[in-house]
Amino acid sequence: MLTPIPAIDIIEGKCVRLSQGDYKSQQIYSDSPVDMAKRFEDLGFNRLHLVDLDGAKSQHVVNIKSLQEIAHATKLRIDFGGGIKSPDDMTKVFDSGAEMATIGSLAATAPDTVSQWIEQYGTERIIIGADTRNGYISINGWKENCAIRLFDFIASYINQGVKYILCTDISKDGMLAGTSVKLYKQIMKLFPQCSLIASGGVSNMSDLTDLNDAGIPYVVFGKAIYENTIDLKEVAKIFLTHKHQQPT
């Protein structure tokens, strides 16, 4: 059964969403990430994907206060990403209440460092962010494209024992135009041991149903929540009622 994970993206302490990673397209949906997180928890969700968009842009963690406040106010299991570039960033993130850290750009540009973190913190606490455009990895807030092929990138970390891969199809993100089910099915076929977290494009319940039918274990979704194109109560009833939301 698919596990849906709501997302909160933060710029200057506020909940925002972008379209295809374009910072000029930002829309503010709430001044209080904490209130939003509490809403998710009240509906029965126990996971949260928290993204520091300022951090992704400025190459270091910025919105640590929002993480601390949400961790203090809820019991949500938070995975935090955006701007994690140094050992100090990693320490801050975990000390501030995140259970998992999502490493994207650095996983492409400094794989030896990330390998050390995998060894230090364990595969249960590291999510590798595979942000892709046209089959290649994109980095630094999706502003730069790499010459690294998506499948080669995933293989390099699966071979190190990494379980969680968060794959975002940038062309779909924030567009409310459906997900890249075909791509996610390819990943699952190539890497059946992968606990894939799909991301980008969820617009309605049928998108979640399609992912579930394709055998995708997790999905992160955000804009559909804030644009009210999806009913969170219905999502919780269908996908959370009969199971405890725990990664395996």
Show which residues are catalytic: 9, 131
For 187, the enclosing helix (H) or strand (E) is helix 181-190
Q: Give the tokens for residue 57.
A: 């842009």
- Supply φ then ψ for residue 84, to 5 degrees: -75, 105
- SS3 at position 222: coil
Which residues contact residue 179 at a Cβ distance below 8 angstroms, ignoring those fewer than 6 apart? 169, 172, 198, 200, 201, 202, 207, 210, 211, 219
Length of the chain: 248
Q: How many CB atoms lie within 10 A of CB 203?
A: 19
Cα torsion 46, 70, 114, 158 to 10°: value is 10
